[in-house]
Amino acid sequence: MKLFKPTLVALALVSVIGCQEAKQEEQAPVLDTEVQKQAYGLGASIGMFTQRNLSQQEELGLTLDQALILRGFKDSLAGKSVIEKEEIQALMMNLEQTMKAKQQEAAAKASEANIAEGQKFLEENAKKEGVQVTESGIQYSVITEAEGEKPTATDRVKVHYRGTFISGDEFDSSHKRNQPAEFGLNQVIKGWTEAVQLMSVGSKYMFTIPSDLAYGPNGSQSIPGNSVLQFEIELLDIIKPVEAPKVGDK
């Protein structure tokens, strides 16, 4: 996560807004021309981006003094910064490294907690009516059954799906994109490779996939480590490779 691309200017803009709102309610800005709107929009964009970063820092236990941020901004604009450029760059690098370390620590704690939560969920879910468990530990229930062809591990398939955490929060959905997904079953997580082979074309299943068959302890950009995942999958088609024309065919 790159938190400091806007540097002190972006941080200061957020601080300026906060300080001004604390003192008094300002009149609405004059935005009669395109250039005025562009100027305001630039500040608003940087401000929103940086506010998210400041909130993330506070959640990780690092709160920056906004009065000093504002002072550094003003001094820099006036050419009177009390810290040299080279030292500022080093300070920002150290700050980013501190944030990365705190993020890694928080991720490790969350990953540990996910192990216990995931195991408890799997044990309780396996007891539900209609839930079956494969030898590898994948749990599934049939929403709609069909009698179509079943894919193999090397087939390419077309599916609609919705992925959620065990909390019920959605992290991905082909339905929201209004576009079915196509992929080779040997190009996805192990849980998907095994699970989709259980399905016939036209069927819809609900799968609960243990973390070791999903993204494991490291997780991914949007999936925390050791996460048990649930997928509602509808197998729409098996995509057969187009055969090359034989020599002499017209």
Residue whose token pair is 């396996």: 126
Give the count of beta carbons closer than 10 Å to the beta carbon of residue 154: 10
- Do 185 and 136 reside in the same domain of the chain? yes
pLDDT tens per residue across span 187-225? 999 999 999 999 999 999 999 999 999 999 888 888 988
Per-residue pLDDT, averaged over 12-17, amounts to: 48
- Do 193 and 142 reside in the same domain of the chain? yes
- Do 124 and 63 reside in the same domain of the chain? no
Looking at residue 12, its pLDDT comes to 45
Long-range residue pairs from 137-141, CB within 8 A, at least 24 positions apart, any chain: 137/210, 137/212, 137/213, 138/191, 138/194, 138/195, 138/207, 138/208, 138/209, 138/210, 138/213, 139/207, 139/208, 140/195, 140/198, 140/205, 140/206, 140/207, 140/208, 141/205, 141/206
Looking at residue 11, its pLDDT comes to 47
- Do 52 and 134 reside in the same domain of the chain? no
Asked whether residue 94 is assigned to any structural domain, the reply reads no
- Do 148 and 76 reside in the same domain of the chain? no
Residue 212 sits in a domain whose CATH number is 3.10.50.40
Asked whether residue 185 is assigned to any structural domain, the reply reads yes
User: Would you place residue 15 in the very low, low, confident or very high pLDDT band (cuts 50, 70, 90)?
Assistant: very low
Asked whether residue 104 is assigned to any structural domain, the reply reads no
- Do 183 and 72 reside in the same domain of the chain? no
Asked whether residue 88 is assigned to any structural domain, the reply reads no
The whole-angstrom separation of Cα 240 and Cα 242 is 6
Looking at residue 249, its pLDDT comes to 57
**Which structure tokens are listed for 102?**
């705190």
| Structural domains of the chain, count | 2
- Do 181 and 128 reside in the same domain of the chain? yes
- Do 135 and 36 reside in the same domain of the chain? no
- Do 131 and 219 reside in the same domain of the chain? yes
Asked whether residue 54 is assigned to any structural domain, the reply reads yes
Asked whether residue 110 is assigned to any structural domain, the reply reads no
- Do 157 and 44 reside in the same domain of the chain? no
Looking at residue 118, its pLDDT comes to 94
pLDDT tens per residue across span 55-90? 777 877 888 777 787 788 788 878 888 888 889 899
Residue 19's domain comprises 7-82
Residue 234 contacts residue 201 (beta carbons within 8 Å): no
Q: Which residues of 40-74 are buried (b: 16+ CB within 10 A; e: fewer)?
A: eeebeebbeebbebbeebeeeeeeeebeebbebbe
Residue 210 contacts residue 228 (beta carbons within 8 Å): yes
pTM > 0.85: no
Burial class (CB in 10 A: 0-12, 13-18, 19+), 119: middle
Asked whether residue 97 is assigned to any structural domain, the reply reads no
CA atoms 119, 120, 123, 124: torsion sign: negative
The whole-angstrom separation of Cα 57 and Cα 213 is 32
- Do 145 and 235 reside in the same domain of the chain? yes
User: Would you place residue 250 in the very low, low, confident or very high pLDDT band (cuts 50, 70, 90)?
Assistant: low
Asked whether residue 93 is assigned to any structural domain, the reply reads no
- Do 65 and 129 reside in the same domain of the chain? no
Alpha carbons within 13 A on the beta-carbon side of 161: 22
- C-alpha distance from residue 38 to each of 63, 179, 208, 210 (Å): 31, 35, 48, 49
Looking at residue 140, its pLDDT comes to 98
Q: List 165's β-bridge partners, or say none.
A: 229
**Which structure tokens are listed for 116?**
């216990």
